[in-house]
Homo-oligomer: A and B are copies of this chain.
């Protein structure tokens, strides 16, 4: 894409461009641009799109695909569930899982689904609550108003989840009301070898051959949930050039950040994060090699790490592009020119907050965000300790993650029966304590508070050996016992979480007051300038809320080479080498003769997506499910900061491959019947 176009895109209006944009469902572009194939969704289409789409609370998307609450999402989105249901005896992660009857569907230890029901504009109320405030006062007023609105919305109904969503960095606020499903069961997950075929080497690459698909089912009152809105699977599929619509929950983009914020991301956050994760990856890579059981324990974390390292690495390379950053600078200059003198101060205030952050980041990330305490036991201990203290206060005065609206999900996690492995925790925790000491220095008072005179690995071993937080009953006892139970506990992880709580809260407060509040306060100003400059036709940055993206099926050109839009199952068999991560499971090898290898397998489109969109349904204009989004290409990683229609691609599993695999490889007849009740 020519450079000047990027500038245009930052100021884009919906009439000039098809693929860029993650639109909220209440403010879809109302014109019918040629590139959108003249498609403007009507109210019924939008309602179905909204109510048949679901969010997986852990960070993925999905959709209802039958009236009986069947949900389609990615295999990589259910890895946590499948791991939690696996053991040395029953290795569903590697061998796959198929429930041939409803009774055989297994409850995921900690999966929550949210289905969006309604969007309400609460901007005026939020702005009124925070008018003229700064710093801590601004933050407290905002949080209190949010909590108040959310609690009015959800009442005492744990099936209702309400979130005040901050758009345009606070320029606009909407209340999102969700129906919450906490009884979610595993129906089908493929073997790891096919569900993650190509592994880390192929991640963010195309051509691709990956059955990254899994099925869950939402239950209510012990029975499969009956849903009004769902997407029928298309057996006709799409072809090159066809319109594709993606509804899903993109997690986070940073397209509206200032240059100072992007530079901080580039020079500080991304590099530090990548170094931390890379070392951890090396540690766990060796741990995995120590035995089959160790491999099983570490697999989920490693997959997450490898994916994150690619994402952050791609973001870093994107932000190192001098021409791209120059575009950002020019766009910012143009916006500044449209601002008045008072508004222009916002940029400086935000830049100064980045300097504050630079000094604060190390302790903040280690002590409060948990990089220095990388253990499931510690996360549990912190939730128990803080949860007890916070629940003694009114909901709207608590830290966000302990307000009433958040408790159902928190409790689900806290009481998850997913196993915790002491040896594995010792390794991770000891290592993270050594990072804590390395970053703050052995003479730092906080480090001494944590380690005393002992070595990090020795502290970790002692704490893990002494804790009972691996037992769900003990966690429940401490949770229900509240502050008193916490104060009396001699569990070493509870003692640690208690001991570090004051300094951890202090650094969190400093970050909230001196960095986040400043950024948010002034982002409101920038949003106002931006709306004025572009007549309101700006989509907000992603916020892990439901968005619609328009695109078309299209390959791309790279270094003079054409990348075709589709792969086939034949390509899978050709590429399979016998060695992981290019190994086929026995089931797929046996099925080779029966499978229709001409079936399209994976394909690419121009839809504008980002992490969080994993599991998103890809629809045709009739609202049929033609694909299942599971990845972007390597260029899509820059999508955190800008969209490049020439190169950014969304990668999906073809609906025809899902049907063919279920029918021919897995002989999952009941599931196929359930999916194909409505013909194209």
Binding site for B on A (CB under 8 A): 198, 200-202, 205, 267, 271, 274-275, 278-287, 289-290, 313, 316, 320, 427, 431, 437-438, 441-442, 453-455, 457-458, 577-580, 582
Contacts and interface: CB of A to CB of B under 8 A. Distances in A.
A275 B277 CA distance: 9
Contacts of A313: 275
A565 to B, nearest CB: 18
B278 A580 contact: no
> Which residue, A205, A316, A438, A582, has most C-beta atoms of chain B within 10 A?
A438
Contacts of A275: 274-275, 278, 313
A580 B286 contact: no
Given A275-B275, A275-B278, A279-B279, A202 B285 contact: no
A454 B579 contact: yes
Given A274-B275, A275-B274, A282-B280, A200 B438 contact: yes
Contacts of A453: 577-579, 582
18 contacts: A201-B437, A201-B438, A267-B320, A275-B275, A275-B278, A278-B279, A279-B279, A279-B281, A279-B282, A279-B285, A284-B286, A289-B427, A290-B290, A442-B582, A453-B577, A453-B578, A453-B579, A455-B580
B201 A286 contact: no
Contacts of A316: 271
Contacts of A202: 442
Nearest to A448: B577
Nearest to A205: B441
Given A278-B279, A283-B285, A454-B577, 11 more contacts: A198-B442, A201-B442, A202-B442, A275-B275, A278-B278, A278-B282, A282-B286, A286-B286, A286-B427, A453-B579, A454-B579
A278 B278 CA distance: 6
A488 B453 CA distance: 58
Contacts of A582: 442, 453
A437 B202 CA distance: 10
A283 to B, nearest CB: 4
A280 B161 CA distance: 44
Nearest to A583: B455
A94 to B, nearest CB: 16
A640 to B, nearest CB: 18
A275 B289 CA distance: 21
Q: Is the interface of A mostly helix, strand, loop or mixed?
A: helix
A472 to B, nearest CB: 29
A431 B284 CA distance: 12
A544 to B, nearest CB: 28
Contacts of A274: 271, 275
A354 to B, nearest CB: 12
Nearest to A577: B453
A-B residue pairs, 3 tightest by C-beta: A282-B282, A286-B286, A282-B283
A275 B284 CA distance: 15
A176 B198 CA distance: 54
Nearest to A578: B453
Given A282-B283, A316-B271, A289 B441 contact: no
A575 to B, nearest CB: 9
A281 B431 CA distance: 11
A409 to B, nearest CB: 31
Nearest to A438: B201
A566 to B, nearest CB: 18
Nearest to A452: B577
A247 to B, nearest CB: 32
Given A267-B320, A437-B201, A458 B579 contact: yes
Nearest to A263: B322
A336 to B, nearest CB: 20
A455 to B, nearest CB: 4
A437 B437 CA distance: 34
Contacts of A438: 200-201
Contacts of A282: 278-286, 431
Contacts of A320: 267
Contacts of A284: 282, 286
A299 to B, nearest CB: 15
Contacts of A280: 282
A320 B319 CA distance: 14
Nearest to A453: B577
A286 B580 CA distance: 23
A316 B268 CA distance: 11
A443 B293 CA distance: 31
Contacts of A431: 282, 285
Contacts of A455: 579-580
A222 B286 CA distance: 45
A491 B442 CA distance: 48
Contacts of A200: 438
> Which residue, A313, A320, A579, has most C-beta atoms of chain B within 10 A?
A579
Contact of A286 (B198, B287, B442, B454): B287
Contacts of A577: 453-454
A289 B201 contact: no
A457 B279 contact: no
Nearest to A576: B453
Contacts of A578: 453
A290 B279 CA distance: 17
A455 B437 CA distance: 36
A375 to B, nearest CB: 16
Contacts of A286: 282-284, 286-287, 427
> Which residue, A200, A271, A279, has most C-beta atoms of chain B within 10 A?
A279
Contacts of A454: 577, 579
Nearest to A201: B442
